[in-house]
Amino acid sequence: MMNKTAYEELKQKLKYHMNRYYNEDEPEISDYEYDRLMVQLKEAEKEHPEWVDKDSPTQVIGENVVDEKFAASTPRGSKRTSGVVVSHDVPMLSIQDVFTKEDVLRWVHEVRSRHPDVKFSVEQKIDGLSMSIRYDKGKIVLAETRGDGLLGEDVTLNALAIPDVLQDLGPAGKNDAGLLLPLEIRGEVYMTLEAFEKTNERQELEGKKIFANPRNCAAGTLKQLD
């Protein structure tokens, strides 16, 4: 059980860590610790729904990283430059966390009850920076960060420096009918430990701030304007 005072303190603690993660790209706690705090908040709100308001971290995807007036002045389809705020055509939602084998099995059972022929693939979790890439007629038109899930930051020019990001999809961008349809790809931008260590060595030699972890380094590199 949690009282209202503890609930408000937990809200502020989560908002602080959300800001460190989403806005500053310098998380102070692990994903696991953050997720456990969020679970505590959700459990408290389940017991006391009257406490919930729009200010709760459970009611947003991430902290709003932009000024609303500035965001409104950046319409879709306008000419974009690095650092400009753009809106997602489809919100980039978060995936629900699970912490026990029972939670996973319960989810699998629920999915199979609806889709008996479903097949699953499992891969290691990569802690990177979420990014979406839009293609039109096979050519890249926008790469943007997740931001708050509704509004992200245009990082197209920097994304093109990533070897795996194609500027032109070529034949691979065509569907079975041979047509080049609009396409959006979503994934994680991450950095290997080896590249992270080399980057920090260079930062230190140049007297610059070193990065706290590979995710922080990948995010900083992707968002830099120079």
Residues 83 and 153 sit within 8 Å (Cβ to Cβ): yes
| Measured distance CA(213)–CA(26) in Å, rounded | 8
| Measured distance CA(37)–CA(10) in Å, rounded | 8
Question: Which residue has tokens 């992270």?
Answer: 196
Question: Which residue has tokens 């406490």?
Answer: 51
Among residues 69, 79, 119, 125, the one annotated as catalytic is 125
Instruction: Measure Cα distances from 160 to 80, 143, 154, 187, 221 in Å.
Output: 15, 9, 12, 14, 12
| Measured distance CA(71)–CA(93) in Å, rounded | 19
Neighbouring residues of 10: CB distance < 8 A, sequence distance ≥ 6: 2, 37, 40, 41, 44
Bridge partners (DSSP) listed for residue 135 = 140, 183
Is 11 annotated in the active site?
A: no
> What amino acid positions are annotated as catalytic residues?
125
